[in-house]
Amino acid sequence: MGRTLGLDVGERRIGVALSDPTGTIASPLTVMPAAPRTCLGGELERICREREVERIVVGLPVCLDGTEGSAARQAREFARWVADVTGRPVELWDERLTTAEAERAMIAGGMRRDRRREAIDKVAAQILLQCYLDRHAAPPPESGPPP
């Protein structure tokens, strides 16, 4: 599958996660300011080049009832921009509840509140990316009786 970059886009910050080379395991990478876009575009392009990223997944904030609001429209526009800037294929992935799940996991791990604030965006990106990777994993080879 190759490396995949996951982006959890917020108004002020973007959480970034990266898969391993096999496209199996997602790890939190960094948090970047969402603006200005000129700096963001250069940083995303650099990460893609240095980390040999083949595809990018952008979180799509769908409402709990499955509808899309203004945040989803902004995510779609952002995904188009990322594809243009990086030259990589970009997919959108439902990110419902990833931030809440990230916070629960960090609390369960005993992380202090001030540290959670620093890490929540990249952990949310990791959860988003891991869900994507799990859904797109190749099925295990069929095992039959030994020859």
CATH architecture observed for domain 3-136: 2-Layer Sandwich (3.30)
Q: 39 and 46 in contact (C-beta within 8 Å)?
A: no
- DSSP for residue 139: P
pTM exceeding 0.85: no
Burial class of residue 67 (count of CB atoms within 10 Å of its CB; 0-12, 13-18, 19+): exposed
What is the Cα–Cα distance from 61 to 69, expressed in whole angstroms? 8
Whole-number pLDDT of residue 77? 96
For residue 144, pLDDT beyond 60: no
pLDDT grade, residue 136 (50/70/90)? confident
**Could you report the per-residue pLDDT of 67-84, keeping only the tens digit for each?**
888 889 999 999 999 999
**Could you report the per-residue pLDDT of 50-71, keeping only the tens digit for each?**
999 999 999 998 877 878 888 8
At 56, give phi and psi (nearest 5°): -130, 140
Across 83-126, where does the E strand assignment appear? 90-94
Query: What rounded mean pLDDT belongs to the chain?
Result: 86
Looking at per-residue confidence, does 32 or 106 come out higher?
32
Amino acid at site 115: R
Q: 110 and 127 in contact (C-beta within 8 Å)?
A: no
For residue 119, pLDDT beyond 80: no
Residue ranges of domains in the chain: 3-136
